[in-house]
Homo-oligomer: A and B are copies of this chain.
Amino acid sequence: MKVGVVLPSSNREWLADRQAAYAKWARPGTEIVSSALHERVPSDADPSDSFVLPEILQRMLEAEQDGMDAVIVDCMEDPGVEEGRRLVDIPVIGPGHAALNLAVTLGYRFSILYPLEQVRLIEKLVQHHGLSSMLASVRYLACGLKGMRADAKTMLGYLLEAALAAIRDDGAHVIVPACTLISELTGQLGIQLRERGYPVPVVDGPGAAVKLAEDLVDMDLAPSRVTYPASLGISHRIE
């Protein structure tokens, strides 16, 4: 099967890296096809910016036309996922909801590690999906979003510190790092937690999204049209 990944940015330099972050989770037979936004989008635009939304949706429409079996948006805040489900017939998947939803199959209460001080931006995803009663906490990653480009060892230190605080002080049973950029570190974070005596699963967003895409395609399932009625309006970017 072919799974499209929409990078919600026009920065093509990141494409190879993002392609790899998803491809590592794909099983044999799953092809990951990533694409960036149109060049007209400023290269430093925020993926969750409302003015960027139509550009993401446009790429979803193109992904469907290009024969993708499912499409993922590469951002844990799931920008455009709810809206896109009304526009295309293939499954649209957000790594944020996919990770949270996998987390609650593994434990009773999860904490999110988040690189922005504006924690409300991720908390509202939890609330939107009816999972508030299972949220232990959102922990701010002290490195910030810019610090995420630090070397792996430094970054892992930040993740470990926040995860331990979530487990010890907030009662987290499962950890969900909420930035797809640090996807390569989730495995190591889980190992480090186990070594310190906390056998707590760490759920990776891109991994959860790829698996959910494969599951839905295998089972021939798509989002409900009662929850996501076909769009009543136009279905292309206004130029």
Contacts and interface: CB of A to CB of B under 8 A. Distances in A.
A173 interface: yes
A107 B223 contact: yes
Contacts of A52: 233-234, 238
A194 to B, nearest CB: 9
Interface in A184-229: 187, 190, 198-201, 203-204, 207-208, 211-212, 214-216, 218-229
Q: So how many copies of this chain end up in the complex?
A: 6
A146 interface: no
Chain A interface helix/strand/loop/mixed: loop
Interface stretch (A67-75, A127-135, A149-157): A127-135
Contact of A53 (B27, B50, B214): B50
Indicate the size class of the contact surface on chain A.
Answer: 35 or more
A226 B120 contact: yes
Contacts of A86: 50
Interface of A: 25, 27-29, 40-42, 44-46, 48-55, 57, 80, 83, 86-87, 97-98, 101-102, 104-109, 116, 118-121, 123-124, 127-130, 132-134, 167, 171-174, 187, 190, 198-201, 203-204, 207-208, 211-212, 214-216, 218-229, 231-239
25 contacts: A25-B218, A25-B219, A40-B239, A42-B233, A42-B234, A44-B233, A49-B231, A50-B87, A51-B236, A51-B238, A53-B53, A54-B238, A97-B105, A102-B215, A105-B212, A107-B226, A107-B228, A108-B224, A108-B226, A121-B229, A127-B130, A200-B225, A201-B223, A203-B221, A211-B214
